[in-house]
Structure 1
C-alpha cells in the first residue's frame, strides 16, 4: 500500500484509513453518547444519575486500564488479529447492552465487554497507522483523520445518540454501534494488512498487566467514592497509588533480570513524549468532563429530552469540524506546540463562557458560544498531541507507546466523567447551578494545567527517532 505520485493515498490505503477512523469514531461515540440518555436509561432500568455515571466511567476506566496490555498483546498475537477480535467483542457488548433488563447487565455489556473490546482494537489502529503510513507527511494526515474522527465521535455522540434515542429508543443507539462495528470488520478484511509478523513466543508480563490495571481502576473508583466518605476516597486513592508503585517496581525488576516488562521504562525518558501524554490526558478529561456535566445538567435540571440535549452539542461538533478541516493547513504554517498551546487557551475561554453565560441568561442559546469555542480548541490540538507522542519512537516500540498513549487518553476521559460528574452529582439536588459551575471550573483548571504543560514542548516539530530506539 503506497501513496500515489499526486500525494493521494491508493484505494487500498484509503479503505484501511476509513476502517481505522471508523474504529476510533465508534469507540469515542460509545464513551459519550450515553450522556444524553441519562433520564431515559434511569427511568427504564430503575436507576439514577449516579448509576448511569458509574456505567459510563467504568467503560472508560476499563479501556484505560487494559490499553497497555492490549497494545503489548499485538506483538504476540498480531495487530490485525487483535483489532478484529476487539471489534467482535465490542459488537457483542453492544448487543448485550441493547437487550439489558437492568443496570447490572448494562454494565456487563457496555462497561466490561465494550471496554475490553476497545482496549484490544484501538492500539492496533495506531500501531498499523504508524507502520503502514511510512513517511511523516502521510502519517500526519492519517493521524489527523483518525484523531478528528475520534473527536467527532466524542462531541457528536450526544447529538447522534440523542437523535436515535428520541426517534427510536436508547437501546437502538447500541444497535447502531454494532452495525458500525460490522461495517469496519467487512471493510478491513482486505484493506488492512500487518506488515510485521507477530511473535507468539514473545513473553507477556501478566503480573505487570494485573498491577497496572488494578492501580488505575482503584484511582478512578477513589474519585467516584467522594460522596461515600472522605476516608473511603482517600483509602482507594492511596491503595491505587501503592499498586501503581508496585507496578513500576515490578517493571524495573524484570528489566534488571533481562526479561521483557509490560511497559519499558525507556518510554518515560523521552521528554517530548511525556509532555505530549500530559496534554492528551488533559484534553480528553475536558472532552468527557464537559460532555457529562452539560448533558446531565440539561436533562436533570432543565428537563430536556435526549434529542434536545444532543442538539445543544451541535455547536461543539460544528466547531470541531471547522477546526479539523483546517488542521492540515494549520500544521503546515504553525508548529505543533503552537497549535496545542492555542487549543488549550481557546478551550478554557469556551469553558469560562459556558459558566458565565448560563449563570446570567436563561434558555438554550447561552450554551452555544462556549460549546462552539470548545470545539474549535479541541479540533486544533487533538491531532498534534497524538502525532508528537507516536512519532517520538521507532517501529519496535510502537506497540508499547500506542498502548500507553491510548491508556493516558482514556484515563483522562474516565477521570473527566468521574471528577466532574461527582462534583455535579453532589449538589445537583440542592444547588444545581453551583454544582454545574464548580464542575466546569474544575475542568477549566485542568485545561490551564494542560496549557502550561504545552508551553514546555519544543517549538519545532517532534523529532522522529530511528527505528528501534
Structure 2
C-alpha cells in the first residue's frame, strides 16, 4: 500500500510516518477484535472435550463475547467522545489482552465464559475508538477513504483469517493458543497506542454523562442479543427467549424516551438520524453484515459436514474470500471520493447477492475449483467494497465531537446484523433437517439445508441493496 497520500494529509502530523503508524495500530486492534469472534469456532470441539462443556453451554464461549461486545458498543463510543479516545483505547486494549490470557489458561467452563465476556467488554471500548481515531486523523476525503478502506478490509477479512488461524492452531498446537496469542499481540498494541496516539485534550467544558441512557441502552442491547442467541437452542417461544426479548424491547423503548425527553447530554442524540447518510448506511451495514458473517457459519458447516474438509483445509478454503474482501476494500477507496458511496454499495451488494445464489448450488459432489472458488471470491470482492462504503457514509457529515457516537452506532449495527443473520440462517437450515444434529443427517439433506440458508443470505444482501438506494449519491465528508 502506498502510504504517502495518507501521510500527506494527516491532521496535525508530527512526523513523516506517524499517519501510517496510527493506521497500522487501528487496523491491528480491529483485526484482533474480529479474529477473536471467529478464531475459537474451529476449536470448540477440542475445548469442549477438555473442559467438559455441556452441549447446551458450549455456544456461550462465543455468545458471551458477542453479547457483551454489542451491549457496550454505544457506551464505548460515547466514552471516547467524553473522556478521550486514547484513554478509552488503552483501557479497552488492556482489558481485552488480559481477558484473552485468562481464557487461555481456564480450567473450567465458567472461567472461560467469563473471560470471553471481559474480552467483549474490552473490544467494545476499542472498536469505536479505532474508527474515531481514523476519523479525526485523516480529514481530507481521499486520505480518509484510503484509511477507512484499509480498516474495513482488515475487519472484513479478519473473520475468515480467524477460521484459518483457528484451524492451524488447533491442529498443530492447542485450542488454548487461540486465546493466548492475544498476550503478545495485545502487549504490542498497548505499547503502540501509548506511544503513537496523541494525549487527549482537555474538554472545553465538562459534559454531563447520560447514566440512565447508558444503563437502558446497554441492558436493552444485551437482553436483545441474548434472546436472539438463545433462540437457536431454546426456540423463539421459550420463556427464556421471550422474556429476554421483551425485556430488551422495554429497555430500548425506555432508552428512546430518556434520549428524547430527559437527558441533558444524551448518549445518542436522536437528531443524528436526520443525517440521511448515517441512517441509510447503518441500515445497509445491518443487512450486509447479516449476509456476510452468517455465511461464514454456514460455509464452514458445508465444508466440514458435507464435503468433509479438515479444520486446516476449511481455513485454507477461506483464503480467496478473505483476499477478495481485503483487495476490494483497499482498491475501492480510490473511486469513493469521486462517486460517493451509493453506486459502490449497489454494485457490491448485487455482486454479493449473485455470488451467494451461486454458492447455494453446491452439493455433495461439489469441487473446490468448479463450485466454491468462483462464488467465494466474488462474495469477498462484493462485500469488501460494501464494508468500505458503509464506513465512509456512516461517519460523514458529523462534527469531530460526535465521531465516537458514529463509530459506536456503526459497530453496534454490524453486531446486531451478525447476530440476527446467524439466527435466521440457522433457522432456515434447521427447517430442512428437522432441527437434528448435523452429524446425524445425510450429507444430501445437509447440502440442501445449507443451500437454503445461503439463499437466505442472498435475500439479506438484496434487502441491503434496497436500503442502499436511499444513501445520498455524493459524499459529505467535511465536518460541520
Q: Same fold (TM over 0.5)?
A: yes
Distance in structure 2 (CA, Å) of the matches to 1:244 and 1:98: 35
SS in 1 for 2:106: coil
Q: 1:197 to 1:127 in 2, by over 3 A?
A: farther
Q: 1:180 to 1:58 in 2, by over 3 A?
A: same
SS in 1 for 2:40: helix
Could you tell me whether the CA contact under 8 Å between 1:346 and 1:374 is conserved in 2? yes
Match of 1:103 among 83, 104, 109: 109
Q: 5 Å matches for 1:379-418? A: 379-418=384-423
1:373 alignment partner in structure 2: 378
Could you tell me whether the CA contact under 8 Å between 2:145 and 2:337 is conserved in 1? no
1:298 paired with 2:297, answer: no
Could you tell me whether the CA contact under 8 Å between 2:320 and 2:380 is conserved in 1? yes
Q: 1:401 to 1:325 in 2, by over 3 A?
A: closer
Could you tell me whether the CA contact under 8 Å between 1:71 and 1:402 is conserved in 2? yes
Distance in structure 2 (CA, Å) of the matches to 1:348 and 1:45: 40
Could you tell me whether the CA contact under 8 Å between 1:21 and 1:146 is conserved in 2? yes
Distance in structure 2 (CA, Å) of the matches to 1:175 and 1:5: 33
Could you tell me whether the CA contact under 8 Å between 2:154 and 2:326 is conserved in 1? no
Distance in structure 2 (CA, Å) of the matches to 1:43 and 1:435: 27
Could you tell me whether the CA contact under 8 Å between 2:85 and 2:200 is conserved in 1? no
Instruction: For residue 59 of structure 1, report the CA deviation from its aligned partner.
Output: 1.4
1:432 paired with 2:446, answer: yes
2:13 alignment partner in structure 1: none
Q: 1:224 to 1:49 in 2, by over 3 A?
A: same
1:39 alignment partner in structure 2: 45
2:69 alignment partner in structure 1: 63
Distance in structure 2 (CA, Å) of the matches to 1:394 and 1:400: 10
1:267 paired with 2:272, answer: yes
Distance in structure 1 (CA, Å) of the matches to 2:6 and 2:449: 56
Q: 1:273 to 1:436 in 2, by over 3 A?
A: same
Could you tell me whether the CA contact under 8 Å between 1:74 and 1:124 is conserved in 2? yes
In structure 1, the gaps of 5 or more residues are none
Could you tell me whether the CA contact under 8 Å between 2:219 and 2:248 is conserved in 1? yes
Distance in structure 2 (CA, Å) of the matches to 1:278 and 1:196: 33
Instruction: For residue 463 of structure 1, report the CA deviation from its aligned partner.
Output: 5.1
1:174 paired with 2:176, answer: no
1:241 alignment partner in structure 2: 249
Aligned length: 460
1:84 paired with 2:84, answer: no
1:458 paired with 2:472, answer: yes
Please provide the CA RMSD for this pair: 2.5
Deviations 1:233-257 (A, max 9, x none): 44433332222111101111224xx
2:28 alignment partner in structure 1: 22
Deviations 1:185-222 (A, max 9, x none): 12222211146435794322222122112222222233
Deviations 1:253-289 (A, max 9, x none): 224xxx1122111112212211000111222222320
Q: 1:389 to 1:278 in 2, by over 3 A?
A: same
Distance in structure 1 (CA, Å) of the matches to 2:224 and 2:250: 10
Deviations 1:146-200 (A, max 9, x none): 1111112122211122222222122112122222221111222221114643579
1:361 alignment partner in structure 2: 365
Could you tell me whether the CA contact under 8 Å between 1:86 and 1:116 is conserved in 2? yes
Q: 1:6 to 1:194 in 2, by over 3 A?
A: closer
Distance in structure 2 (CA, Å) of the matches to 1:240 and 1:261: 19
In structure 2, the gaps of 5 or more residues are 11-15
Could you tell me whether the CA contact under 8 Å between 1:27 and 1:118 is conserved in 2? yes
